[in-house]
Structure 1
């Protein structure tokens, strides 16, 4: 993403606008073809790889055509000068998914919207609420690791600051026990646009809190992990959350 361009800044400021741009990358996909209606699941994520570089990742059943995004928010002149490089790269996902095997270790990244349902008073209905503290955010992911087909690796005792890897408070922090970090918390607020006839009155903006998890995992159920990688984890998938990606670990002689 060329952050010097106004169109790029507009896309980056609104997950709703970015979602619409991503979904427009599939010529055969209609606006009504949503996962709720049986349409394909398209996942996307923005990675701030450096202070000045932002990369858009997309996982989809079909190959995308990102010409419009390059023209609006990329480097179209550079893409036009090299026909072999249209400004984005597409690769088949199946070879990676097929490599997943029980016991294999991988590095992973996930941007997610960790939430829980809570009520302030006993007579009130539960309300979806964001987890605020890193300890609770890590706990949210750890509760989902089994159903998602992986286990977050634990640090060896020699690398832990505390014997059991947790603090002894009312809000335990799991960060010293697991090969897991949580960073880049981003509170987001944006207006949700509708293609259906607008409702009367002004609707409140959509608010989200997203965080990014980096860590190491062991595959426990390859089929469940493939499902998590193609269907996403957690809520707010349309707004850049839920995409789990893997990378090979650096060889240390002890990794699988």
Structure 2
């Protein structure tokens, strides 16, 4: 199976691009429109679609990873520029002991039990920040076959939106996000491949969970 990475640079002169950048549900729909529509009840999982929006000096860029090559010709005229390439060489290079750089914009949370929620009047899902988010990431990294050597956490804007299912009441979407960057040693190639393919944490339909790695530069 080939894994694909697409870099999409939206043109902010495009009304459709501006609208999608401000609407996580709209961006999800736009991305999924690049894939076949007959994929069953969960096409995002079927095609392994994960994405992340990054702020750059030239404006927002979108990284899209998928197990099916996206048809970027389905984007509206003037939406932006795209470049798609396979990640086979990177995946094949994964081996125990290799030091890599990583990045993951994730939604760190904890889910208190019913007794704890009642005692402290907590919601079912509690967003984590600061040291608690760092500890969450270190657990996730370990479960993903990585031993972090360095890590830096940067809070990001919370993803907010409203999903309107075909039937039923609208559903509010809210995912607090933190971007984790650093270096790590690979300790389990199977776990790491699974984390790259499946993503980490919640909010995968709305720009959370994509784990990106690259070989770390060796000191001269």
Task: Identify whether the pair has TM-score above 0.5, normalized to the shorter chain.
Answer: yes
Aligned to 2:206: 239
Q: Which runs of 5+ in 1 are unaligned?
A: 75-86, 154-178
Select the structure of larger CA radius of gyration.
Answer: 1
Counterparts of 1:208 and 1:90, CA distance in 2: 28
- Pair 1:30-2:38 in alignment: yes
Give the whole-Å Cα distance in 2 for the aligned partners of 1:103 and 1:221. Answer: 9
Distance 2:65 2:200 in 1: 13
Distance 2:204 2:69 in 1: 19
Q: Does 1:183 align with 2:154?
A: yes
Give yes or no for the alignment of 1:209 onto 2:176: yes
* Structure 2 Cα separation of the partners of residues 3 and 211 of structure 1: 25
Structure 1 residues 15-164: aligned runs within 5 Å: 15-26=24-35, 28-30=36-38, 32-34=40-42, 39-50=46-57, 52-69=58-75, 71=77, 73-74=79-80, 87-118=81-112, 119-122=116-119, 127-131=124-128, 133-153=129-149
- Normalized per residue, the structure richer in strand is 2
Matched residue pairs, number? 208
Deviation (angstroms), 1:221: 0.5
Give unpaired runs (5+ residues) of structure 2: 1-9
Residue 184 of structure 1, CA deviation? 4.1
Q: Aligned partners of 1:204 and 1:243: how far apart in 2? A: 23
Distance change >3 Å, CA 182–CA 125, structure 1 → 2: closer
| 8 Å CA contact retained: 2:98, 2:215 | no
Q: TM-score, normalised by structure 2?
A: 0.85
Aligned mates of 1:128, 1:143 — CA distance in 2: 18
SS in 2 for 1:152: strand
Distance 2:93 2:204 in 1: 25
Describe the superposition over 1:61-108 as per-residue Cα deviations: whole angstroms up to 9, x where unpaired: 11111123362531xxxxxxxxxxxx3111112211110000000111
Q: What is the DSSP-based 3-state SS (H/G/I as helix, E as strand, rest coil) of the residue aligned with 1:7? A: helix
> Could you say which residue in structure 1 is the equivalent of 2:5?
none
RMSD: 2.2
- Using the size of structure 1 for normalisation, the TM-score is 0.74
Deviation at 1:126, TM superposition (A): 6.1
Secondary structure in 2 matching 1:246: strand
Closer/same/farther in 2, CA of residues 152 and 123 from structure 1, 3 Å limit: closer
